[in-house]
Amino acid sequence: MTTVDMGPGVMAGPNARTPMSGGPGWHGMRLMRLAGHPDTVAAGVVSLRVFNTGALTHEVVVLPLSAGQSAGERPAGPSGRVDEAGSLGDVSRSCAAGAGDGTGITSGATGWTTVTLQPGRYELVTSTLAVSVALCAGVTAAPAAASPAVTGTAIPALQQQTRTNLAQAMRGEAFANVSYTLFAAQAQREGRPAVADLFRKAAAVELGEHFTQEAAPSGLVGGNEANLTDAISGEGYESTTMYPTFARQARAAGDTAAADLFTEIAKDEAAHQAAYKAALTALRSGKGAIPAPPAVTPVTVTAGQPKVTSAQTRANLDTAMHGEALAHAKYTLYAQRAQQSGNAALARLFTAVSDVELQEHFSGEAALAGSVGTTSHNLATAIAGETYESKTMYPTFAQQAKTAGDTAAATLFQHNATDEADHAQAFQTARKSLG
């Protein structure tokens, strides 16, 4: 069965074409944006899952499009509502398959329906129960055997290459963010507050601008339930697969300190998963409390050499540190979303776990990997990274996105290439100032 996810979390970026069709009563209001992902599915049984991160209660209906008709063009009736006759399915209840008579998907909730789609083009129409049609997105059901190119859909999905590049860029941004945070602390210890400040400001740009802007077209952030579901799966993988494997390999290689750390972190990840599961249950049932945020015991990472011997352990540390950096960045955005949705307790949980990922897990691993050196060395590391991003990575990604027709992503990559060049320049100047 194919699942199509719908909701702002899968919406394209700020400059993307949007399939909005604002009906009366919506002008001047903050619109929920709707998009389907993927926007082409094999004909057959398809589940539509809708995340409502808007403020109002919504329902979504599935209507076939006739030849030449595009999503968003369906005329509204005299009441301002679209005629829903011919609807194949209806997502109209929170946390349940819609039966057409629900009370809508409430703010922050998820609903779904399962429909059988013949080959053809379909429109997903959302409305509030009180107002009128707000916006629409198209889905094409391709014949199951051969999937022709999508035509006539409202939102062109990002090309696969662009998605892959966005994911790689986000890993780099998340890693730079946490690395610079540790480099800032080292500069402070060395009595270089201006350099510390430079690292802190760059760190803030990597997460608050670059990572965040790349997360939008990637569809990283969904509603609270979707974010928790993603977090539960990530923590599950780390606690039951990744860290136990790394611990075993480190033990076999004689890297005892790394083996102990990996074992300890696996336990923490299991606790994170349990807390997120409890939070999801509380959200879905409306009963029980969001768990209290975990306490954070920061690890100080001073300049030092690697404390592991085997190449396998070094590679595993690198993988683990990238995973921790990404978790830190993701949970930061999930906390913001929770806060925006009015769920302060969930925001506190995401923020505290995000702090653990950086200040305990990433930091503990960085200490073993010898990732922090003297400030002069750290500046050289940063310059190399920024130069690679500004001269090679982002220009390549921008060119590929442009060729693929993903113009908003191309613009974003190009913009970030310029920012990274500025970072490289500022770090160069700082390095010279050290004498």
Q: Which residues of the shown chain bind Fe ion in the complex (CB under 5 A)?
A: 173, 206, 210, 235, 269, 272, 324, 357, 361, 386, 420, 423
DSSP code at position 209: I
C-beta of 397: minimal distance to Fe ion in Å? 12
Q: CB nearer to Fe ion: give 224 or 390.
A: 390
Adjacency order of strands within the sheet including 133-142: 40-42, 133-142, 120-128, 58-64, 89-91
Rounded distance between C-alpha atoms, residue 84 and residue 132, angstroms = 12
Rounded distance between C-alpha atoms, residue 317 and residue 243, angstroms = 10
Q: What share of the chain is helix, strand, coil (3-state, %, to 5)?
A: 55, 15, 30
Q: CB nearer to Fe ion: give 5 or 419.
A: 419
C-beta of 215: minimal distance to Fe ion in Å? 13
C-beta of 285: minimal distance to Fe ion in Å? 24
Q: CB nearer to Fe ion: give 58 or 423.
A: 423
C-beta of 269: minimal distance to Fe ion in Å? 4
Structure token pair of residue 370: 């010898």
Q: Identify the residue whose tokens are 């699942």.
A: 3
Tell me which amino acid residue 331 is.
Answer: Y
DSSP code at position 127: E
C-beta of 183: minimal distance to Fe ion in Å? 12
Q: CB nearer to Fe ion: give 173 or 355.
A: 173
Q: CB nearer to Fe ion: give 330 or 423.
A: 423
DSSP code at position 219: T
Rounded distance between C-alpha atoms, residue 108 and residue 104, angstroms = 12
C-beta of 387: minimal distance to Fe ion in Å? 10
C-beta of 265: minimal distance to Fe ion in Å? 6
Q: State phi, psi for 20 to the nearest 5 degrees.
A: -75, 145
Q: Which helix (H) or strand (E) holds 163?
A: helix 160-189
Helix ranges (DSSP H) in 286-374 = 311-340, 344-356, 363-369
Give me Rg for the CA atoms of the chain: 24
Of residues 432, 433, 430, the one with CA closest to residue 200: 430
Rounded distance between C-alpha atoms, residue 357 and residue 207, angstroms = 15
C-beta of 422: minimal distance to Fe ion in Å? 8
What's the residue count for the chain? 435
C-beta of 403: minimal distance to Fe ion in Å? 22
Q: CB nearer to Fe ion: give 91 or 409.
A: 409
Q: CB nearer to Fe ion: give 45 or 384.
A: 384
Tell me which amino acid residue 366 is.
Answer: A
Q: CB nearer to Fe ion: give 406 or 420.
A: 420
Q: CB nearer to Fe ion: give 90 or 357.
A: 357
Helix, strand or coil for residue 412? helix
